Amino acid sequence: MDKHALPPWLRQVWQELTKPPAVLQKPANKTRSSRQPTQRDVDDDESDPTLYDSPTDPPLTPKEPIGSIQTATRASRRYFVARKTPQHRTKTKPRPRKKARPAKQIQTLPLMQGIMQMGQPQQHAIQTTAPKTSAQPLRTLRTSESTKTKSEVLRARQYFEHIRTVEPIQNVWKVTTTNDRQYALKQTTLPIERIAFMADALDELHRRGFKRVSRIVRSAQSNKPYLIDSGHTFYASEWMPGLPVQLASMRQLNAAAKTLAQFHEHSRNYEYEPYQPANAFHIFDHLLNRKQDLIRLRKRIEQQQNKTKFDELCLQQFEKADKQANEALALCKLPEVETHLKQALQHPGLCHLDVTRSNLIVHPAGFVQLIDFDTMTFGPRTLDLAHLLRRAMQAYGAWSNEVALIPLIAYNRVQPLVQGEYLLLESLLTFPHRFWRVVNAYYNDLPNTDESFQFHLKHLQESLALEGQRETFLQTFARQVTRRIHS
């Protein structure tokens, strides 16, 4: 195949797919550093803001974790440092105890007792001591007679972990222990039943062979996946090394789609009886609620006397957004989609439901890892795939068929999509989610400063500027992918 005869977009895809891994590339006139990228580099990364997933929720905007450093440090010590028990007193050999002395038996003469009772001056009583008994030798961790085995001693020494540092990184606390283990400690408002569901589900994924997820760590004191300290709930997860994915990179987008497909495939038919989170299979109702939000906001704007520029742009877009919402709802009612949702509900799998750049971590080896499962629940896998496609095209700066082709090919290599899933995917891409998010965020919390108003106005203008490309993309998708429209 002559790559020079290919179109520009396919030539870029060819270069990304044929590019050798980073470990095989030789730097030019530079000494290669042996240091691997860490999560700290994320904070120092001054990347182009156009690479953000969505202007309405950029994942790398400055965030602060909940609570103070004192609260996080206290919770870390309680979470990772086990309470000392009689079985695990210390890591070192205990000091030998002194031999117990038997109690002395005091015998007083009767004549002396009479003198003392008559008020005479006290005299020293004659005391007799019982014979000493031989004490049994004490057992220590190093004696051959000890009932502790070597593995129990090692477990006791590993049982105690001491905190070295606690530092804020984005919206979590990065905890480093003295044995160089790293965790992400997070204060949350989630119920403890949901945290237990998340922990058991991630452990089950590990048992099934999928280990590219950040598991929740059990507390050292209670062996529970959470800790309640002063009325606040904390949970800790494994710290995943690497940097957030660049969705504008075809190679990293391909790796992200592959990891997402493996996550969905390994979580199929997972059942959890103690707690049933609200599932995400009612997509039609979800889209209908968002459409009703747009109708309500439109009536609110029309009743206003003094309309701003933001209001005028919204009124111009509402009619087109309502048409797109109706098309998305009609696609959800197709027989193929309804049949697929019924089958998926009988054999449910897990969905991440927060596929953002900050939750997709590229390991130094090149594969992508998933973190932050606060919104994870049972649902159709097309929800996560639709999120990935939208954010990839927003990061790329255009609604491009070529950009959508990369994750679809990578996903189908793991587990092919059926026709009902393609139609559901088209429905999710057709609904004006970005317009709904910008408008809903603006009118639910009206800006009180000109700077805030310009911030929302800029995002609305950027969203409307891509509507032409978006309509063209959806027409091509319906013609070439779902085959609903015949050319």
Domain membership flag for residue 267: yes
Q: Contact at 8 Å (CB) between 279 and 347?
A: no
The pLDDT tens digits of the residues spanning 4-29 come to 566 666 666 666 666 655 444 444 44
**Which domain range does residue 274 map to?**
243-480
Q: How confident is the model at residue 448 (pLDDT cuts 50, 70, 90)?
A: confident
- Residue 470's CATH number: 3.90.1200.10
- Higher pLDDT residue, 236 or 125? 236
Domain membership flag for residue 58: no
- Of 394, 67, 379, nearest to 246 (Cα)? 394
What is the tally of structural domains in the chain?
A: 1
Domain membership flag for residue 203: no
Pairing of strands 163-169, 172-177: antiparallel
The pLDDT tens digits of the residues spanning 357-392 come to 999 999 999 999 999 999 999 999 999 999 999 999
Domain membership flag for residue 341: yes
Domain membership flag for residue 183: no
Average pLDDT over residues 69-75: 81
The pLDDT tens digits of the residues spanning 384-442 come to 999 999 999 988 888 988 899 999 999 999 999 999 999 999 999 999 999 999 999 99
To the nearest whole number, what is the mean pLDDT of the chain? 79
pTM of the model: 0.72
Average pLDDT over residues 32-44: 39
Q: For the chain, how far is it from start to end, CA to CA, in angstroms? A: 28
What phi-psi label fits residue 155: left (phi over 0), alpha (psi between -120 and 50 degrees) or beta? alpha
Average pLDDT over residues 33-55: 37
Q: In what order do the strands lie in the sheet with 243-244?
A: 243-244, 360-362, 368-370
Write down the pLDDT at residue 170: 84
The Cα 177–Cα 172 span in angstroms is 16
Q: For 117-155, give the DSSP string.
A: HTTPPP-PPP---PPP-PPPPPP-TTSTT-S--HHHHHH
Domain membership flag for residue 86: no
18-21-23 Cα angle (round to 5): 155
Domain membership flag for residue 158: no
